Structures are given as C-alpha cells and as structure tokens.
Amino acid sequence: MHSAAQHSLEDRGADGTRLVLSGQLTLATIGPLEAALRAMDGPIRIVDLAGVDEIDTVGAYVVCRLARAQNSDITGASPEAERLLAAVREIETAGDTHPHRLPVWERVPTALGEKVFGAGGGIYGVVAFLGQIVLGAGSLLRHPTRFPIKALVHQMELVGVTALPIIGLMSFLIGIVIAQQGSVQLEQFGAESLTVNLVGRITLRELGVLMTAIMVAGRSGSAFAAQLGTMKLTEEIDAMRTIGISPIEVLVIPRIMAATFMMLLLGFYASVVAIIGGAVVGQVSLGIPFVTFLLRIQEVVPIHDVWVGLIKAPVFGLIVALAGCYNGLQVRGDSEEVGRRTTMAVVSAIFAVIVLDAFFAVFFTEIGWG
C-alpha cells in the first residue's frame, strides 16, 4: 500500500517559507501533490525532504522543477534521493541529448559501405539458398517416394485455383481499358480496326503475364514469406530439422513448383480473359462483332507472341516463389521481422519480374520475335 505524498508550508520569518514534503514521492502517489505544487504562488526558500520515505525519478524531477522555478534550496535528502536529484539536474543542464550526428561527408560513405556489405551478404545468402534447393531436388529425385505430392497439390490450389476469380476480373478490366484507350488514339488516324492487333499482341506478349506475375507476387509470394517466417519464428522449422525432415524438401520445393507451373496456366488464362474484355469493347463501342474480334485475333497475332508469354510465365513464377521462400526463411528475432520480410519479398519479386521482362523484350527482339 503506497502512502500518499503530502506537503506543508512553514513560515520561518527571515529564513523564508519552508516546504516540507513527506510520504512517498513516486509515480503512483505524486499526482495530487504535483497539482498542488503547480498551484503555489508564494516564494519558497527551502524544500525539505527529510520526511520523504521513498522517491523515484518522477518525484526527483518534480522536486527539481519546483526548486528551479522558486529558486529554492533542497535539504534533508537521503543519499539515494541525492543521487536521483543529481541525475535529474545533469539531464536538465545537458541541453541537447540527441546523439552526435556525423557530417555528411562521413555519413554518406559509411551508409554506402553498409549497403554494399549488406548486398554482399545478401548475394551469399541467395546463392546458399539456391544450393540448398538444388541439393533438395537431387535428394527427391534419388528418393521419389519422399516427394510431398499432397503439399504440391495443396499449394497449386492456393496459388492457382483460388486466384482465378481475382486474376480473371483484373485481366478482363485491363482488356477493356486497353481496347477503349487504344481505339480512342487509333481513331485519330482512322485505324480503329487495329484495336484488335493492339489488344491481342500486348496482352499475349506483355500485360497478361506481367500483371499476373505482379498479382501472384502480392498474393502468393507474400503468403509464402509470412507462412515460412512464422514457422521460423515459432521454431517449427528447427523442430523439423531435429526429427530429420528437410524444410527445403517439404516446404520450399512444393511452393516453387506450384508457383512455376500455375503461373504458366494463369498467364495464359489472364491473356485470354483480357482478349475477351477487349472483344466486349469492340462489340459495344467499335461495332466489331464479338466472334469476329476473336477470329481476327487468330489472324493478326503471330504464334510466336503466344510462345513469348508462355516462356516468360514460368520464369516469373519461379522468381516470385524464390523471393517469397527466401525472405520467409530469413526471419530472425520477433514478429516485426515477419512483416518486414513479407514486404521485402513482394517488392523484390516485382522488381525482379519487371527487370527480367525488360531483358526478355530485348532478347526476343534480337532473335526476330519482336
């Protein structure tokens, strides 16, 4: 039970007014006293702490603030109280308590060096992770009965089947936007019929697969990182290693295979749905019959455009799965790290997909598939 902090004023004549404090000057009891001290108007010459049973940092701060405001002397403090009062005075007189900041010509090279060093460690970790996947795949090839087929089917359902509605809606709307905006621009040249070419080629070569990869990165890549990160945090992965089960074989490889294979199907599905969206705009706005639009696609879109999308899709799926699984397995410390690594997985996957898409564009142009 805390004894309340109390105060009283004693008029000592020529010595001035003495404020006597007693009880416990702690965070739990000092509230009413602090309000009363703020309301005092008269000058106080001495603050007497002889009757104080216990004092903490909050109490010491209130006493020092009062003494500074009233220009008072503090007497009767115990050795423990004197140490606290001295510490509070030192903090008050220290001024700026922020850490010293290095000048810019030192901060920039230091930060750059830390980033380079971190990048080197990251590259080492990625290479080690890829090596573990290769070893795990080799082990499963030697012992095919250990292959986690149920886990693979489950991940294929999560990555592919459950993503069909959202990817279909997104692709349909993208097809509508491309057809509508493209027809507006082509109308200036009297070439509205070329909207079919625009929709067919851009969806099969680029946007169908690219937007699907971004959607899978945000949906499945983040899920991979969060799931594996949580398992790492709760030591489930360490427990699997302890009983002789390889996390790479059971957790990572099924996710990578599912994302790689399902991206192939999802990318083609997204392109088809986007073309259907464009055909709807052609029917409604351009006067091109729906069936005629689809038949025209077969005539104006070269077959190698289909192969371009089919080649890029599994590569994008592989990148997304690798980014999600790698960042999930790098979780250390606390739950905040799970969120940070999940964000890193999505950002790095999308960045890598866009960079690879640019390389693919140059490569296919060079081989005559532009």
Report the pLDDT value the prediction gives residue 161, as an integer from 0 to 100: 94
Q: Which of 16-20, 135-139, 214-218, 227-231 has the lowest mean pLDDT?
A: 16-20
CA separation, residue 204 to residues 130, 178, 197 (Å): 30, 13, 11
Residue 289 in tokens: 């019959």
Report the pLDDT value the prediction gives residue 152, as an integer from 0 to 100: 95
In which element (H, E) is residue 96 found? none
CA distance 89 to 79: 15
CA distance 321 to 353: 11
Residue 88 has, within 13 A of its CA and on its CB side, a CA count of 20
Domain ranges of the chain: 6-94, 102-139, 148-366
| Closest C-alpha among 272, 309, 285, 270 to residue 179 | 285
Residue 74 in tokens: 């503090």
Is 0.85 surpassed by the pTM of this model? no
| Closest C-alpha among 39, 349, 24 to residue 217 | 349
Q: What does the pLDDT look like over 143-197, one tens digit per residue?
A: 999 999 999 999 999 999 999 999 999 999 999 999 999 999 988 888 888 999 9
Domain 6-94 in this protein, CATH class? alpha beta
CA distance 140 to 252: 13
Q: Buried b vs exposed e over 147-174: b needs ≥16 C-beta within 10 Å?
A: bbeebbeebbebbbeebeeebbebbbeb
Q: Are 198 and 251 in contact (CB under 8 A)?
A: no
Report the pLDDT value the prediction gives residue 156, as an integer from 0 to 100: 95
Question: Averaged over 91-97, what is the pLDDT?
Answer: 65
Indicate the average pLDDT of the chain: 89
Q: What does the pLDDT look like over 27-83, one tens digit per residue?
A: 888 888 888 888 777 678 888 888 888 888 888 888 888 888 888 888 888 888 888
Q: Is the pLDDT of residue 1 over 80?
A: no
Q: Is the pLDDT of residue 96 over 60?
A: no
CA distance 104 to 88: 33
Q: What does the pLDDT look like over 188-203, one tens digit per residue?
A: 888 888 999 999 999 9
Residue 189 in tokens: 């040249």
